Every structure is written in C-alpha cells, then in structure tokens.
Structure 1
C-alpha cells in the first residue's frame, strides 16, 4: 500500500531546478504501454487476475531477451508472486539486489469513479486509473528499466532481481512466501522497494526533499473484552461490562508510551528541523539531540504528523457492547490499534497495555500476526547511490531518512533478513495523493524522473565490485 512520501504540511519549498532527463520518448511510451495494460487487469482480492498480469509481464520480458529460466511465477490460490532475475557476471562476489513492487490493488467501484478505474486515461497532465500510483507504477517502471538495460547490453557485476507480490493489500501471503519460503532462491543482499519513499513537491511544484523509507512500525490490533453474567436493566450490578471497559479505556487514553529513537528517526528530525523552522522545527532539532527533552516531545506529540515518529502509539478504534437496551451488558469489546516502534514485539506492547488497563478480568486477543521487523541500517553505498540519482535531477535536494508509520511488503522482507529501503521514483504533491481513493492519479511528468532514477540505481549499484 503506497504511503505518504513524507511529512510536508509545514515544510517550505526549496527552489531547485531540475536536470536533464536520460529517458527517451520511446522509453516513456513503453512505460505507459505497460502501465496502461497493467491497470486493465483488475487485480483486487478474490478476482484471480494477478496471475494474468504476471503472465503479461513475463511475455514482455521474454520479448526483451529474458528467458524462461530467468522468470519464476509462483501461484498461490487466486493470486501469485513473481521473481525475475537479471543475471550478472558474478564479478562482485556479492549476492543480488532486489527491486520490489506489488501487482495487486484495492477494490474500485466503477460507478463511483469519474472515469473507468480499469482503463488508464491521460488527462490534464495526469494518468488516472486504479493502481497508477499504488503500485503498478512501480511494477511498470521496474520492468521497463530491465528491458532498457537488456537492450543496452548492460551486464551487472551481481544479479538484479525483481520481487513482485500479489496480495500486499490483503493478506500478504505471497509476501511471506517470497520472504521466507523462497528466501534462499531469491538470494539477495537487500531490497529497494518502489512502494515507499520518494520526493514530495511543494504546491508550486518545486521539490521539497527526497525520503528514504528505512523502517516500518509494527501494525498490531488487540481486542479487549469484558464479560459478566448481565441481567435485567432494572436491577443494576456493581460490575458493568461497559463501565469496566470504559474505565480501562480511559487509562489507556491517558497513557503515553516512552519516547524511542533510532538512527533513522534521529536523522529524520535533525534534517527536517531546520527546514520546518518555527516551534515544530526547534522541537525536532531539540528532540534529535536529546530524546528525553519533555518540552520538545510534547510539541511533536501534539501534531498528528509527527507523533508516530516519536515512539509506539496505541489508540482505540472500534467499540461494541451490550445486546439489548433493557438488559445489562454481558460483554463489551474495544479494538486497540497499535503502531509499534521497531525493535519492540507485539507481545511486549500487549503486556504494557494490560498493566495500564489494570483489570485482570479483561480478555485480550491479538488480531493478525503482528509481524515485527527491525529498522534497516542506513548503508553508505545505498544512500550514496540514491543521493547521486536524486541530485542528477535536482542538485542539492535534501535526502531525508524516514520511518513509515504504515506498512508495506518491506516489513516481511526486513523480518526475513533483507534490509529494505523505500526509494520510489515518484515526485508528486501531497494534494495529488489519491492512493486507495477515488480517481487515483499520477503526474505523467514523473515517468522520466522515475525511469532515470531506476536506471541510475541499477547501473550504479549493479556495477560495483
């Protein structure tokens, strides 16, 4: 699921001019062709169309010189995963580099859209269609770059590997299979993920900063339930399931998890502080220097944009209770959704919630698997290559490490031992962010930027020894 490129609401635009593009008109046209065809496959959950999209991509790659041996499609129920290997000469002596995207999309009801969601339309400088942003753009630009490199006769010093999943928007079963069951077959050192990071543009279209997503918080939801025998509402009991649940919820509301930092969040706030300026910017700078600064922490936690980067957060999101208006409630249940700081397990967070709630009679249940993943180290070779790619288009643009409060396939990749970096080639305004929404769109002008971006990264990192 494509997340926000970066926090931008209070960031002033940096007036930086763009550089020349290397992507040709033919490269751009081919990318649009692949993207338009990919959009035409309705790959939301349960429709069985992901394997059809994978087969189409495989055909395009074979036309471009890849062999059956290079391409692996892994059927999984109605969906599929896909691995494509661009073979290197092995002279680096290193494992391959992965490039990730997902082929599935969220549902789209045509009657709600102004245009058909499954026919890509170019209009007023935008491409419209379900998945043009999340994440078929990543799929298409990565495939187009593989085709371009093959046509150029490029031979990397290590393998380059496309890793495409088929259910990132739902159960991530293909993600888990690729991460764990096919880990050794894929045989890579790290992954560059097209489904996160990227450059945010200010309202006037100038770039603000480029974000490298190097960590994700763990997504975990817990149900907390209070039960008792209930009875007739005319005969109240001292122990009322709704009141007992409400008491525990108020305690959780008042509780704040301790501040936590890692290399990524420290550099994020230290870099962003001078750009943002004002009270928020000063708080970022102070927090980066001293995470125990209560005043700085208070300022950051008062902002929905920044609170998630300061540590674990848990919030009540759903509530149900009782069964009749004239009966005492026999049960009351609340759902607590947590975004857990990397390095902390879901079980540890649950233990804290139980302690805060202070009621041993509450029954707790973890919803889902609560997979935790570590932050990825900010490798110099990766950061340097990304910086060189971005600065080729926009010299001097700020490079900003970022921790995602949402989630992508990257959480399983990191958990399986592959450091993962969200480095999308997308440059866009936050006002154009319609991923998962109606009339999803993408600025057409970002296509050459993305193609140059991936070409630079693959040739740079794929040439080192």
Structure 2
C-alpha cells in the first residue's frame, strides 16, 4: 500500500478541525450588486433550459452561449476556447493576469444527469422558483455553480481587476458519464499552482434549525473502478439441468462479495472531517465518528459508521453489485453470466490490490475478473495549502462567523481526480450551504436554496480577489 498523503505541516494543526484565521489581510468586502444577481439568474434560466444530457448534443450549444457572454463581458475571443469531444465539448476561458506565478484553475461541468418530465412535479428543464428554492435539473449539480463562476469572472473584468496570475476556467462536458472532456482538459491544462473545483466540498446546514454546521474543503476523493466478474459453462437444453449452471455459480459469487467488508481506514483528512462532523451529529452516529477519529481501531465505532450508507464510504473501500447479465435464451442453459461490481477505493489503496481482494473473496478459479474502461485514475490527496484555507475561511466567516472549516474526502468522483493525477493540487470549494439530502442532485425534483446564487457570487468574488491580488 502506498503512502496516501503528503500533507504540509499546517495539516497537523488543522487535523483536529480546521478553524483558522486568515494569514494575510483580506481585501475589502464588496457587496454583491443587483446587476450581477440579475445577470446570473437570467443566465441560469437559459442554462437550465438547455438539456445537456448525454446523447442530446447540447453541451456545445451551452458552451457557445457562455462564450458569447464572455465576449460581451470584454474577454478576447482568443482567450475563449471550445473543445469538441464527440457529441459533447469542453470549454476553457483565460482571464489574463500580470504573470506572477502559475495560473489558478477553476473547475466545473456543463452536463447534467437525465431527467424525465413525466417523473417530475415540475418541468426539469425550466427554472422555477418556489418556496425559497430553485427547481430544475442542474440547479444543485451544477449549472448554478457554473453560471456563478462565469458571472464572477465577468464582474471582475467589468471592475477592471487585474489578477496577479492567470485565472483559467475549465468546464467539462461529460463529467456525469464518460469524463472524456475532463481527460482532454487535463492533457492540455496541467501547469497550475492549484485548482478550485466548484463541484465538491461546501457547507452543511442543520436539518432542523437551518443553521450552518460545518464547511468542508474537499482535498481527496476515492478512486472509481468497475470490475466485471464473469462465469461461463457449456450451456445446453433447459430440460437437462446440470450443476454447472453459470447463473447459480454467479449467485454464490455475488453473495460472497455482498458479505465482505473492506477493512476500516483513516487518514489526516478523514480524521479531521469525522471529528468536525461528529461534533455536530446527534446520537450514536456522532459519538461513533468522534470515537473513530480518536481511535480508528475502535471496531464498534467503525461498525456504527459503516451501518450508515452516507458515511460508510468515509472509512472503507466499498464494492457493490450494480448490474447483471446472464443467459442467451429462455429455453437454454446459460453459457455465461456476469455482474458489474462498482468500487469506490480509499485513497492510497491500489486498484490492483482491490482486484486481488475480490479474487480471494470470490474464491472461484473459474471466474474471470476484468477492469472495465476507461482505466481507473488513482487520485492522490492534495496537500492542505494555507493560502487556500485562509481565503476560504475568511470568505465563509464573512457570511457565517465562526463556522467550523474542515477538510473532507468525497466518496464519489469528480473532475478533480484527473488534475490531481496530473500533479495539480485540487480543492473542492462549492460555495453553497445546504441541508443533508435536501437537494436531490441526480434525483427527482432537484433543487437548491435560492439564497445560494447571491451567496455564490459573493463567495467566488472574495476568494478570487484574495488569492490573486
């Protein structure tokens, strides 16, 4: 097992809960103007109406729309690039600075998960404001954040701000599916000081009171890998059953995989995250988080955390069966049967070692295990940079004084993994504060508190001013 992290000395201070003050004087707080909010809402209304679902060929249209907005905002055409990739596209926009240091990348994506109108209460591709929420596919994941990034750069240009270094906005076009545009962007853009990803991290509100609880900076994410397990047999007539039935044998394999739990793990980032989250989580779950952060060998605490689907991924590699395929005719014995096992692998654990573990768990030499393309990307954790932490802390505290700031690890995957793999430290810093399980991202009736558009404009303006002054 490789060493998972190479954290800077500041991490030792932050590991007990990142509550910090800014290391340098912050720029003046600039109230968000009505003009910027109006422009952002109009842009978001249009962005939601463009169904950038895989196969719809609409991502290039949204990219062209954003390009027009940048040109209207004073950006040179040469600094705006739309990169076709199959039926989708990526986008890169450079805000030129004075050249003191490497660029800063800003990351997001333009595509969304599919949504069927018949299943939704409201039209998923019409922005609707109701009861303090914005409804529509992409409001939470993540057209609102993409629009806020676009509007913030236009605002800074309008204000005549010249950053000390280039700021490069990178918007992918298939983050929810193949990530081909992300791989293309990472090939072209990998010489940055660091990357800020608006598609990860963010603030949590208490479900009952609505008060802010904690803000997490995503500094690590798990490796995504799909394994196909296949068993074969000669087949034959269904009237002549045999013990060598591929489907029956596969059923036993699936039971073994389902019954196995990878060992609990911890690192500096998850330790701090569990410590901070546990302090604000009531009942046995919160107590278990606090105990596990202090004593990761506490088996009872690990079991309590693992019993919660939302948190098991924070302490273990997880592998779960997601798709089945078997047989070729209703009246024939199956010649093959296979299952897809989707794994989210803890940082520092290799894909090869997980495959080896599955081979042992399956305990069937006749089973073949293959890793499905694209090749998994083993994403190293990013060192906790004092300048990023200071800027984010100052900005969050300008809105919610004293709220705890902690590092976090995503159980899922984001565009950041390709940039981390290319050597660019990456940090998830979504501006929004939301209640747990309240946005329904990827689900029905996706929504976001309407307050987070204006809050996002304030957040990104302040963060970028501080990091590039």
Give the TM-score taking structure 2 as reference length. 0.88
Unaligned 5+ segments in structure 1 are 1-19
Q: Could you tell me which of 137, 160, 163 is aligned with 1:156?
A: 163
Which SS does the other structure have where 2:141 is aligned? coil
* 2:420 is equivalent to residue 414 of structure 1: yes
Q: Is the 8 A contact 2:99 2:165 kept in 1?
A: yes
Distance 1:296 1:114, change over 3 A: closer
Q: Which residue pairs with 1:378 in the alignment?
A: 384
Which SS does the other structure have where 1:276 is aligned? coil
Deviation (angstroms), 1:130: 2.1
Q: Could you tell me which of 275, 278, 284 is aligned with 1:270?
A: 275
Q: Which residue pairs with 1:441 in the alignment?
A: 447
Q: Which residue pairs with 1:427 in the alignment?
A: 433
Deviation (angstroms), 1:394: 0.3
Q: Which residue pairs with 1:50 in the alignment?
A: 59
Unaligned 5+ segments in structure 2 are 1-28
Q: Which residue pairs with 1:10 in the alignment?
A: none
Residues in 2 aligned to 1:255 and 1:237: alpha-carbon distance in whole angstroms: 28
Q: Could you tell me which of 281, 285, 290 is aligned with 2:295?
A: 290
Residues in 2 aligned to 1:60 and 1:234: alpha-carbon distance in whole angstroms: 67
Give 4+ residue runs of structure 1 displaced > 6 Å after superposition: none
Q: Which residue pairs with 1:31 in the alignment?
A: 40
Residues in 2 aligned to 1:284 and 1:253: alpha-carbon distance in whole angstroms: 24
Residues in 2 aligned to 1:66 and 1:320: alpha-carbon distance in whole angstroms: 51
Structure 2 matches for 1:346-357, cutoff 5 A?
346-357=351-362
* 2:199 is equivalent to residue 198 of structure 1: no
Residues in 2 aligned to 1:438 and 1:423: alpha-carbon distance in whole angstroms: 25
Structure 2 matches for 1:226-305, cutoff 5 A?
226-232=231-237, 235-305=240-310
Q: Which residue pairs with 2:398 in the alignment?
A: 392
Distance 1:276 1:21, change over 3 A: farther
Deviation (angstroms), 1:256: 2.0
Aligned pairs, how many? 439
Residues in 1 aligned to 2:322 and 2:268: alpha-carbon distance in whole angstroms: 30
Q: Is the 8 A contact 2:214 2:276 kept in 1?
A: no
Deviation (angstroms), 1:234: 5.5
Distance 1:208 1:183, change over 3 A: same
Distance 1:240 1:53, change over 3 A: closer
Deviation (angstroms), 1:341: 0.8
Give the TM-score taking structure 1 as reference length. 0.89
Q: Which residue pairs with 1:214 in the alignment?
A: 219
Q: Could you tell me which of 119, 125, 132 is aligned with 1:118?
A: 125
Q: Is the 8 A contact 2:397 2:403 kept in 1?
A: yes
Q: Which residue pairs with 1:145 in the alignment?
A: 152
Which string of whole-angstrom CA distances, capped at 9 and with x for unpartnered residues, describes residues 24-82 of structure 1?
Answer: 22221111011112222222222222222112211211221111122111122222111
Deviation (angstroms), 1:460: 0.7
* 2:90 is equivalent to residue 81 of structure 1: yes
Residues in 2 aligned to 1:317 and 1:54: alpha-carbon distance in whole angstroms: 33
Greater mean deviation of Cα atoms: 219-228 or 253-262 = 253-262
* 2:89 is equivalent to residue 66 of structure 1: no
Greater mean deviation of Cα atoms: 98-107 or 314-323 = 314-323
Deviation (angstroms), 1:355: 1.6
Q: Is the 8 A contact 2:213 2:280 kept in 1?
A: no
Residues in 2 aligned to 1:77 and 1:157: alpha-carbon distance in whole angstroms: 36
Q: Could you tell me which of 177, 188, 196 is aligned with 2:184?
A: 177
Deviation (angstroms), 1:280: 2.3
Residues in 2 aligned to 1:410 and 1:74: alpha-carbon distance in whole angstroms: 19
Which SS does the other structure have where 1:214 is aligned? strand
Q: Which residue pairs with 2:23 in the alignment?
A: none
Which SS does the other structure have where 1:188 is aligned? coil
Residues in 2 aligned to 1:315 and 1:339: alpha-carbon distance in whole angstroms: 9
Q: CA-atom RMSD, angstroms?
A: 2.1
Which SS does the other structure have where 1:299 is aligned? helix
Residues in 2 aligned to 1:309 and 1:207: alpha-carbon distance in whole angstroms: 21
Q: Could you tell me which of 332, 335, 340 is aligned with 1:330?
A: 335
Which string of whole-angstrom CA distances, capped at 9 and with x for unpartnered residues, describes residues 278-333 of structure 1?
Answer: 43233222222232222222222222222111121112233343456665433222
Q: Is the 8 A contact 1:21 1:449 kept in 2?
A: no
Deviation (angstroms), 1:116: 3.1
Q: Is the 8 A contact 2:274 2:289 kept in 1?
A: yes
Structure 2 matches for 1:300-319, cutoff 5 A?
300-319=305-324
